[in-house]
Amino acid sequence: MAEAILAVDCGSTTTKAILFNKNGGWHLVARGEAPTTVEAPFDNVMIGLFNAVRELEELTGRGILEGERFIIPSLNGKGVDLFLATSSAGGGLQMLVMGVVKTMTAESAQRAALGAGAIVVDCIALDDGREDFQRIQRIRDIRPDIILLAGGTDGGTITHVVQLAEILSAAEPRARLGNLPIPVIYAGNKDAREEVKRILGEKFSVIITENIRPRLEVENLGPAREAIHELFLQHVMRQAPGYNLLMEATTHPIMSTPNAVGEMVQLLGREINGNVLAVDIGGATTDVFSVFSGIYNRTVSANLGMSYSICNVMVEATIPNIQRWIPFDVSPEEIRNSLRNKMIRPTTIPQTLRDLYIEQAVAREALRLALEHHKSLARSLVGVQRERTVGDLFSQTTGGETIINMNKVEMIIGSGGVLSHAPHRAQAALMMMDAFQAGGITFLAVDSIFMMPHLGVLSSVMPEAAEEIFWRDCVVPLGSLVAPIGAIREGEPAIHLKSRNYDLEINFGEVRILPLPDEEEFSLKPAKGLDLGEGKGKEVVRRLKGGLLGIIVDCRGRPLQIPQQDDKRREWLRATYKALSLPLPGEER
Amino acid sequence: MSQAYTPGLTITPFAVLRKTRKLPLKGEVLVEVGQIVEPQTLVARAYLPGIVHIVKAGEILGVAGEDLEKHILKREGEKVEKDEVIATATSFFGLSKRTVRSPIRGTIESISPITGNISIREEPKPIYISAYIKGKVVEILPAEGVVVEARGAFLQGIFGVGGERWGHLKVVVDSPEEPIKDINGDMKDCIIVGGSIDGENLRKAIDIGVKGVVVGGIYDEVLRDFLGYDIGVAITGQEDIPLTLIIMEGFGTLPLARRTFELLRRFNGFFASINGATQIRAGVIRPEIIIPHNEPIQVQSESFTNQLVVGAKVRVIREPYFGRLGEVLSLPPEPQILETGAKVRVAEVRLEEGVKVVIPRANLEIIID
């Protein structure tokens, strides 16, 4: 019976080691961290890992290492019973995906790769608008860890998928790590397997799995995802410096970090039996995970982030869209130079409120764009009839529309520095409210120390322990967001809330916080033109969970009714900040 | 973590520099150990396999893939000239004849009976790498490249665009804050140095053939106009631009740091190599200026520390004191609350003008003199 568990996440910049133990129930003991050491001059992930574990030993007084050996199992208060690890170091798992039709097999291949925790460096399809020589050049330029080749339904024509194999063969890309042939997972028309092996067999290491689209109306991602996971361990991890030692040291297989987070999000979706959205906004990338109607999706927006990629957010979002979230007058020039300076010195932190709010404005846009990206990929199969199955079998109604409905999301969990370390928790809530614009009733939380990867890998071994720690130590509850959908005239009564402790009316355009540390039953009656999920003007009676903030009532409309005029918009923003007791530059509390 | 600050970039009058010059794929080395090389000396060569062009022969001829074989005039491995007929087919009892011509000069790589496509690979293209710096070849990496060693001044910038270039260094201003102006013909093929540069002078520099521009600060809009687009992700060096631009301090009105300016002025007129390539991620790459020289320079023993300590000279790298220099007065062990409300570890710093301020440690850069 496990008493103590060590879980480590080897991130691209930091290695985070966490100790859990069983003392009455499972809980977090402490967390140690150290810079990741997969690059020169160290070239060995274990150095950073030992440093992080030693910090953990110092913090807890518990011996975990004996020299460079992990003490497993625990004995007399020393060592651990399980040693688990996740990794995204060295650029994570980089994949090239290929499919015949962009919105069909190529999209399925992309979902399979993303769901397995990969970064998709490009998606090649025969209808992607490129000429063959351009595709070949592109494949040559990128150096993927794994290639996923899909295309065609079983029994259909093999011509197109063979054409893709020919393009791949002509390009002959080189692996990013090591000199071994690149693994190609073939998950297309089963009738083309022999031909694909013939074309690619000499240049690549070809792995055959079940077709990800055996029929047009069926998406079967599981086998391809398993193959990716297996190759990640056997091929990619073994090439990364020091990982052979790490693989020997852990008691269970290493997981890619996003894959582990995905496991945890899926566990949550099952537990609350509702729709969950989780987002991790980092320095370089933003990952979005969702479970909607039991269907899991993950996307990674590779160049939306708050430090290295901050200027890419500026380019994609445009300055006026960033400016619209800043509650004071600031010139486009100042925003530009300020973000550029953050980009070139990514480890700096805002010292002034002015600087902080510019960054938080960018964060809203990064989150908004990442959600847009997620919506575009988390969608039903194009042009087919409904056929629902379980797990990864993923089929939908008429097709093509996103399955992400922000008016039907039960829980949003935010993580990543800008959300987890926002000086005021209300700022984290407001960033998520503005960026995602969830309507109806949604519970908001932040992952305080980005423990989701550790809990994700733990959930693959001990799901109950992972769940227990998640609620006890991982998640910081901000509170329930009540946001009526629709718009009415500003200043008119928008909602009437009644509970044991509250009985009040809030006008359209206002935001209000109702402190509530635990939970309480509310009757919520929206105005005629507004909807809380049950229909316009329909009363909703629900037990609402509070949190650090309480109940957040956002009557600014869904979609948000942002004033167009600059001074009016700033006034509107300032009113919201004040309602959330947030300081404003020049008016610090 | 204990080191929550940005280590300063290297600015030194003397260093022994080794540059590994590696081919992107296996090839041949063209120089020998001990050979003195100039920046433009070609040190290694490789042949890049040509690009493959796919010709939809079956489709053009109107025949199925499995029947293509009968219509092929060239076999796999055979060479073809541009526009040479590689397959033909006749129909309507010989009345209509269709032909497939090679779009390039190359070699037939494959003929697919499934897709009816013919793949033709272009001739290999030679690629060379040059020495980049004036120095001596000290190591040969068989079939891969060489290591070139140079002795001289070495300066890292904070951000750059444009790749490797070389030329004479010309400091064209009298003080570190003075903007570059009055661009003239004397600056052709040179690397010019000044406090800042505006769009108009940057255009003039391009027109007269300046090789590189080194400045303290630049406005992002000037950079955007120069490139013709906005940089999204900070990975640069591959831009197709006529000169290399290196920014030493940051964006906005920022003069060159005094010691950077003095160092560049000291080597005014020397031959230098520069590279604007920047990558701000794990495995960070910063732009660089290398000035080989044989000047007698007393290099102090390297007793400095990368740790932030009381008495350390620092530069503030974020608002509200961005660019200002100072000295660390104290390092309170307990985190302190900033104006933002964040609780972080700070340093008490006396700025050059005597004012005492509190700055998050993450916003300080250590200056090593």
Model confidence over B32-88: pLDDT tens digits? 999 999 999 999 999 887 888 889 999 999 998 889 989 999 999 999 999 999 999
Reported for A559-568, long-range contacts at CB under 8 A and 24+ positions apart, including other chains, are A559/A437, A559/A487, A560/A434, A560/A437, A561/A487, A561/A490, A561/A509, A562/A324, A566/A329
Question: Helix, strand, or coil here: A415?
Answer: strand
- Asked if B49's CB is within 8 angstroms of A132's CB, the reply is no
* Neighbour count for residue B347 (Cβ, 10 Å): 26
The closest of A269, A333, A285 to A463, measured between CA atoms, is A269
The pTM score is: 0.85
Reported for B353-360, long-range contacts at CB under 8 A and 24+ positions apart, including other chains, are B356/B329, B357/B321, B357/B326, B359/A351, B359/B316, B359/B321, B360/A348, B360/A349, B360/A351, B360/B318
Strand order, beta sheet including B52-55: B52-55, B118-122, B106-111, B79-80
Q: Cα separation of B24 and B47, whole Å?
A: 10
The closest of B223, B45, B256 to B130, measured between CA atoms, is B45
What pLDDT does residue B257 have? 87
Q: Give the residue extent of every domain in chain A.
A: 4-80, 91-239, 276-579
Fold of B313-366: SH3 type barrels. (2.30.30)
For residue A162, the chain B residues in CB contact (below 8 A) are: 112, 114-115
**What phi and psi values does residue B134 have, to the nearest 5 degrees?**
-80, 120
* Neighbour count for residue A518 (Cβ, 10 Å): 8
Report the sign of the C-alpha dihedral through residues A124, A130, A132, A136, in that order.
negative
What pLDDT does residue A588 have? 59
CATH code of B52-122, in short, is 2.40.50
Six-digit token pair at B25? 């794929």
Question: Helix, strand, or coil here: B152?
Answer: strand
| pLDDT tens, chain A, 589 aa long | 789 999 999 887 788 999 999 988 999 999 998 888 877 677 888 999 999 999 999 999 999 999 999 999 999 999 999 999 998 876 668 899 999 999 999 999 999 998 887 888 899 999 999 888 889 888 988 888 899 999 999 999 899 999 999 999 988 888 877 778 899 999 999 999 999 999 999 999 999 999 999 998 899 998 999 899 888 877 777 777 888 899 999 999 999 888 899 999 999 999 899 999 999 998 888 999 999 999 999 888 878 899 888 999 999 999 999 999 999 999 999 999 999 999 998 888 999 999 999 999 999 999 999 999 999 888 887 655 444 444 444 444 446 789 999 999 999 999 988 998 899 999 999 999 999 999 999 999 999 888 999 999 999 999 999 999 999 999 999 999 999 999 999 999 999 999 999 999 999 999 999 999 899 999 999 999 999 999 999 999 999 999 999 999 999 999 999 999 999 999 999 999 999 999 999 875 5
CB-nearest to B234 from A308, A350, A355 is A308
For residue A333, the chain B residues in CB contact (below 8 A) are: 219-221
Residue that is written with structure tokens 């935010």 in the block = A414
Average pLDDT over residues B342-351: 94
Residue that is written with structure tokens 């006749």 in the block = B90
ipTM of the complex: 0.85
Q: Cα separation of A327 and B191, whole Å?
A: 43
Cis peptide before B142 (omega within 30 of 0): no
What pLDDT does residue B353 have? 87
CATH code of B11-18+150-292, in short, is 3.50.30
Residue that is written with structure tokens 């020997």 in the block = A248
Residue that is written with structure tokens 């201003």 in the block = B173
- Asked if A356's CB is within 8 angstroms of B340's CB, the reply is yes
Strand B336-337 relative to strand B325-330, pairing = unpaired
Report the Cα B197 to chain-centroid distance in Å.
20
Q: Give the residue extent of every domain in chain B.
A: 11-18+150-292, 52-122, 313-366
Q: Cα separation of A375 and A355, whole Å?
A: 30
Q: Cα separation of B232 and A316, whole Å?
A: 8
- Asked if A166's CB is within 8 angstroms of B117's CB, the reply is yes
The closest of B126, B147, B158 to B32, measured between CA atoms, is B147
- Asked if B360's CB is within 8 angstroms of A333's CB, the reply is no
Q: Cα separation of B170 and B48, whole Å?
A: 38
CB-nearest to B232 from A136, A170, A311 is A311
Query: Spelled out in words, what is the top-level CATH class assigned to the domain A91-239?
Result: alpha beta
Task: Determine the residue among B2, B5, B52, B286 to mutate to test chain A binding: the one whose Cβ has the most chain A Cβ atoms within 10 Å.
Answer: B52
Residue that is written with structure tokens 């490249």 in the block = B145
CB-nearest to B6 from A12, A174, A347 is A347
pLDDT tens track for B91-108: 777 777 899 999 999 999
CB-nearest to B341 from A13, A337, A424 is A424
Report the Cα A106 to chain-centroid distance in Å.
21
Please check whether residue A471 is in contact with residue A487, taking contact to mean a CB–CB distance below 8 angstroms: no
- Asked if B119's CB is within 8 angstroms of A344's CB, the reply is no
Question: Helix, strand, or coil here: B245?
Answer: strand
For residue A33, the chain B residues in CB contact (below 8 A) are: 1
Q: Cα separation of B156 and B166, whole Å?
A: 15
* Residue A402, C-beta contacts closer than 8 angstroms, at least 6 positions apart: A375, A376, A378, A379
* Neighbour count for residue B162 (Cβ, 10 Å): 26
Q: How far is CA B316 from CA A179, A508, B257, B323, in A?
A: 44, 45, 12, 5
Strand order, beta sheet including B356-360: B356-360, B346-351, B325-330, B313-316, B364-366
CB-nearest to B159 from A159, A344, A349 is A344
Q: Cα separation of A59 and B124, whole Å?
A: 60
The closest of A522, A532, A523, A525 to A493, measured between CA atoms, is A525
Three-state helix/strand/coil letters over A335-390: HHHHHHHHHHCCCCCCCCHHHHHHHHHHHHHHHHHHHHHHHHHCECCCCCCCCCCC
Beta strands (DSSP E) in A508-571 are 511-514, 519-526, 540-545, 550-554
Average pLDDT over residues B18-38: 93
* Neighbour count for residue B267 (Cβ, 10 Å): 21
Q: Cα separation of B258 and B177, whole Å?
A: 9
Element (H, E) at A260: helix A257-272
What pLDDT does residue A90 have? 66
CB-nearest to B340 from A12, A36, A353 is A353
Please check whether residue A313 is in contact with residue A370, taking contact to mean a CB–CB distance below 8 angstroms: no
For residue A196, the chain B residues in CB contact (below 8 A) are: none
Q: Give the distance from residue B272's alpha carbon to the nearest chain A alpha carbon, in angstroms.
A: 24
Q: How far is CA A439 from CA A407, A431, A560, in A?
A: 4, 15, 10
For residue A41, the chain B residues in CB contact (below 8 A) are: none
For residue B23, the chain A residues in CB contact (below 8 A) are: none
CB-nearest to A170 from B52, B340, B359 is B52
Among the residues of chain B, which ranges form H helices?
A: 57-61, 199-208, 220-227, 258-266
Q: Cα separation of A261 and A271, whole Å?
A: 15
Exposed e or buried b per residue across B45-58, where buried means at least 16 C-beta atoms within 10 angstroms of its C-beta:
ebeeebbbbbbebb
pLDDT tens track for B272-307: 999 999 988 666 789 999 999 988 776 554 444 456
Q: Which chain A residue's Cα is nearest to B252?
A: A337
Question: At the fourth CATH level, which superfamily is domain A4-80?
Answer: ATPase, nucleotide binding domain (3.30.420.40)
Q: Cα separation of A25 and A465, whole Å?
A: 8
Q: Give the distance from residue A79's alpha carbon to the nearest chain B alpha carbon, in angstroms.
A: 23
Please check whether residue B44 is in contact with residue B128, taking contact to mean a CB–CB distance below 8 angstroms: yes
Six-digit token pair at A35? 């810079």
Please check whether residue B352 is in contact with residue B326, taking contact to mean a CB–CB distance below 8 angstroms: yes
For residue A337, the chain B residues in CB contact (below 8 A) are: 219-220, 251-252
Is residue B348 over pLDDT 80?
yes
On average, the pLDDT of chain B sits at 90
The answer to whether domain B11-18+150-292 and domain B52-122 are alike in fold is: no
Residue predicted with more confidence, A181 or B148:
B148
Q: How far is CA A272 from CA A62, A293, A457, in A?
A: 35, 12, 20
Strand-pair partners of A506: A495
- Asked if A337's CB is within 8 angstroms of B49's CB, the reply is no
